[in-house]
Each structure stands twice: as C-alpha cells, then as structure tokens.
Amino acid sequence: MTASLRRGQKHGENMALTDEQVERYARHLILKGVGVKGQKRLLASSVLIIGAGGLGSPVALYLAAAGVGRIGLVDGDMVDLSNLQRQIIHTTARVNEPKVESAAAAIRELNPDVTVDTYYELVDANNIAGLIEAYDLVIEATDNFAAKFLINDACVLANKPYIHAGVVGFAGQVMTVIPGEGPCYRCIFRDMPAAGEIPTCKEAGVLGAVVGVIGSLEATEAVKLIVGVGEPLVGRMLTVDALNMNIRRVPLPEHVPDCPVCGEQPTITAIDSANYIQPACAI
C-alpha cells in the first residue's frame, strides 16, 4: 500500500466491526491477505470515480460491496436509454436522471455503510484539483483522451495514485499509476491523438460485457491497493482482447526521463485550462 493510501486509515483500523459488518464481509474476513485488518482499511478508505458509465458502473458497485467507506462520483451526464446496454448501475426507471444520482441510489441500496458524494459536473482543468484532493485513490472511467490526459496530469502533480482503463470494441486495457513508483499515462502515450484519429465507443461500438470486465479489473486493483495485498499493475499494462480471449500483461518502461509531467525536467507543472478541452465522462 502506498503512503498516501495509508494516511487517514489508522483511526479506522482501531474501530471494531459490528455484528452486521462481520456477516456482510464474512468472505473477506476469511480471505488470506484481507482479513479483519484489510476490511477495516476498506471501510476507512475513500475513492473518487470519474465517470459513472460503463466502466464506473462495476467499479462503483464492487467497491461499494467491498465496503469502501466513502465513494465520490463525478459525471455531468444524464442516464440515456442507449447507456443501459453496458452501464449496469443504472435502470430503465432512472432514465433522464443525473448519472451520479442514479449510481448513488444503487450504492446506497447495496451497502448503507458507504458514504456517497456526488458531483454532477464534467471534470475539467478548473475543478479537477479540488475534486481529487479529498480522496485516497482516483479511478479513471472516462471515454476520451482529453479526460485521460487531464486526470493523469492532475494526479501525478498531486502525487495521487490512480487507475486507468480504456475500452473500445471487444478490447480494453488497465494500468495503475503511482507517482514516483512507475510510469504514468503520459510516459506511454506522450501526446493526445488528433481529433478523429482513433474512433470512440460511440463511433466504433463496444461490447457491454467487455466494459464490465475491464471495470471489474479496475475495482480489483483498487481493493488490492487499499488493502495492501498482491502486485499492482504499476509498470505493466493488462490488455484484454475478448474477441480472441487473449489476455496479456505488457511490461512498461520503468522510467521515462523526458516525460513532460513526471520526467527529470517536466514541462507540465500545473493544470492550465488552455491546454485541455472540456471532456465528457463516461463510456
């Protein structure tokens, strides 16, 4: 577990679990590597999910089920009928509601232990620093490169660990960024692709179940980081080609000296709104 994830959790580790929590989290409590200490860490942790759509749906549901004590949801969109093919946290009855409120309702129904913060807005260069500040960990669950580069740069500058994912068609990828411990998103993808160069899910389509797989992997990485167990995807990118069921763990460079945000002489030292366009949030 990173130092930033451990801060603020010591008080929670001294709290006793209630009888209801012992029953709710029973499968965690007997799981080697989690146990009572790990469950208390989950209950004392906070995670911000940027994007309450296809990726954000399984992330939010599994982190809520796991007992993450505080979950923040950021999204400026409303539930649309076309979302329901993959955004499983929403329902037909909640079409035309803000996605953050729809997702918050599902989380509260699933686990009353969880405090839910909702931010009905698009993340942008003006608000991202304030949004990520109060959380231990950030989950990037967005649908476009502008948002991905913005979230990466803000998290690296704030020394905030975050988990990246991307999906299109039948394929997806996941990586974990812990500033100072491995490469960031910009180390691998230096510059934002030109508009229209790479098709979006809206243009190319996406298999709903694949989004669920990739989002579930993000949730798994988050739980591992919070509990402090296993090997995170730092310095590695997990790629999934569901059409051929080909899963690979691709090694990434350990250090990229000329990375513009985390390199030896960074050129990105602040989030300047002139360098980022207004992004949409969810796949």
In contact, 99 and 77? CB cutoff 8 Å? yes
Q: Which of 1, 52, 201, 217 is catalytic?
A: 201
* Closest to 72 (Cα-Cα) out of 51, 44, 97: 51
Is 99 marked within a binding site? yes
Is 281 marked within a binding site? no
Is 123 marked within a binding site? yes
| Tokens at 72, concatenated | 């923040």
Is 86 marked within a binding site? yes
Is 187 marked within a binding site? yes
Is 166 marked within a binding site? no
For the question of residue 155 being annotated catalytic, the response is no
Is 250 marked within a binding site? no
Query: Quick one: 264 exposed, middle or buried, by C-beta within 10 A (0-12, 13-18, 19+)?
Result: exposed
Residue 74 β-bridge partners: 50, 119
Is 184 marked within a binding site? yes
Output the known binding site for Zn(2+): 184, 187, 259, 262
Output the known binding site for ATP: 27, 54, 75, 86, 99, 123
Output the known binding site: 27, 54, 75, 86, 99, 123, 184, 187, 259, 262
Q: Which residues participate in catalysis according to the annotation?
A: 201
